[in-house]
Amino acid sequence: MSGALLLGAVLTFSGVDGTRLQLSVVLSEPASILLAWGSAKPETHPPSVFHRFTDLPMPTSAPLRYVLTVPGGAQLEEVIKPWPTSAPLRVALYGDSRDGTEAHRRLVDQMLKHDPHVIVHTGDVVHQANDLDGWAKHLAASMPLSSRVPVILALGNHEILGDEAFGLEQAMLRVPPPKDPLAEKFGVAPESFHVTVAGHLFISLNSNASLAHDAKGLRFMEAALAEGRNARSKFVALHHGPLSSGPHGGHEDGSAMLEVAEKGGLTAFLAGHDHIYERIWSHNVWCLISGGGGAPLYKHTHSVPGSRKFLSTNNWVLLWLGEKEQRARAFGLDGTLLDEVDLLRSGADGELGDDGLETGGAADAASSTDAVRLAEAMRSAEAARSADALPIVDAGLTAQVAGRAENERAVNRLWLTAGVALFAAGLVWTALRMIRGSRT
């Protein structure tokens, strides 16, 4: 009898057309394992810690049930949904969950309530390449979703920190990418790949490498966008985005990335690296940064042109991809809606207002609401300073607090100047009267 425990089960895509899956399983000790996938003949693997079942068909019309069994030990039963035909595709986006297991679990709990079809993780699932305990914690926290929803992983810098070859091997072992002939052609497989899901294109790029105009990674991205030119929407998932208002800033090849993205009709970059939430509009492309998966949060350090929303808080993003409506909704740990945007709308339509919201339409807030939000922001910032914590405050609100304080100081300086001038005028008038009096 085996005493092996099931440490993780991760579904990923087996090919680039999104019709077949693979299931990677990690056990606590070597053991044989059996998979009963729908009506297919059960498949048994010999004893090992790592198991991978490949070329598993996606259900097409009705949900598919599978059972994973360790003889005499653990058993997992899950149901997989087919891709929606008329309803929107729901994609859960997040990243940088390393060192934050509790926050990671809470975010996954929130995702479960929205029943996503796909997960996109933008990297940094562990602290460094040899962090095997970190991998175990990540798999345990994500398994309520990863065992029933396919995962697209963009390789972060921490997965390969300290030992790039070993780190890449460990990541690909636990979250294997699909076999991608196009990525192989450009020499970027397995750490970069693309897949089409229900008509929507997802490109996963290894942003640890160069993405300059002549780099093979960017040429692969350009080719994948061209190949998927008729996709309903197009996304590039990567760890280091082209732009960021956080301390890391954007990728050094951000300009080249944005040029190729605009030319290829990209809908949005899906990034992490800075432990924040940010939404940016540049080169007719949205840049969504969801790096608040559990790692220590970062502050706003500068403002990049086109930044529409910035928050220093744990977060995840739901991509709601319909036929005529495509939206991104950012949520916090407790399920609070943090931000929402129509991905089909030009970001040039709304500049960042004084309250940190987009101006125009429903994004405008009444002045009384502004005052309440401003007061809350000031209290939050003060509490954060006293507790030596990060203020979970919109960057626009922070700027407004500072701006209004500066306005008050300017008014005080004006009154002081006016008072001095009046006093001086009074002295002059008194002196003139004394002179006239002495002459008479």
- pLDDT for residue 164 is more than 80: yes
pLDDT tens digits, 199-258: 999 999 999 999 999 999 999 999 999 999 999 999 999 999 999 999 999 999 999 999
User: Residue 193 forms beta bridges with which residues?
Assistant: 204
Average pLDDT (19-42) is: 96
Quick: pLDDT tens for 101-112: 999 999 999 999
CA gap 321, 180 in Å, rounded: 24
Please give the mean pLDDT across all residues of the chain: 84
- CA 379 vs CA 7, 385, 391, 401: distances in Å: 43, 10, 10, 11
CATH, range 1-80: 2.60.40
The whole-number pLDDT of residue 133 equals: 94
Strand partners, 277: 290, 311
Measure CA of the first residue to CA of the last residue in the chain; give whole Å: 123
Look at residue 74 in the predicted model and tell me its pLDDT: 86
Distance CA 372, CA 33 (A): 58
The alpha-helical segments, DSSP class H, found in 16-75 are none
In the prediction, which pLDDT does 426 show?
54
What distance in Å separates the CA atoms of residue 93 and residue 396, rounded to the nearest whole number? 24
Tokens of 275: 């432990």
Residue 350 has pLDDT above 60, yes or no: no
Asked whether this chain's domains 1-80 and 83-349 adopt the same fold, the reply is no
Pairing of strands 268-271, 285-290: parallel
Predicted pLDDT of residue 425: 52
Split at pLDDT 50, 70, 90, the class of 348 is confident
Contact 194, 226 (CB under 8 A): no
Cis ω for the linkage preceding 116 (within 30 of 0): no
Percentage above 90 pLDDT, the chain: 75
What is the model's pTM? 0.80
| CATH superfamily, domain at 83-349 | Metallo-dependent phosphatases (3.60.21.10)
The pLDDT of residue 370 is above 70: no
Predicted local confidence at residue 358, as pLDDT: 38
Q: Where are the domains of the chain?
A: 1-80, 83-349
* Confidence at 119, pLDDT banded by 50, 70, 90: very high
Query: What pLDDT digit, counting tens, does each position of 54-102 carry?
Result: 999 999 999 999 999 999 888 999 999 999 988 999 999 999 999 999 9
For 397-435, what is each residue's pLDDT tens digit?
334 333 433 443 443 444 444 444 544 555 444 444 444
User: Rounded to an integer, what distance in angstroms lies between the CA atom of residue 143 and that of residue 76?
Assistant: 11
Helices (H) and strands (E) in the chain, counts: 8, 18
Q: Rounded to whole angstroms, how far apart are CA atoms 183 and 2?
A: 40
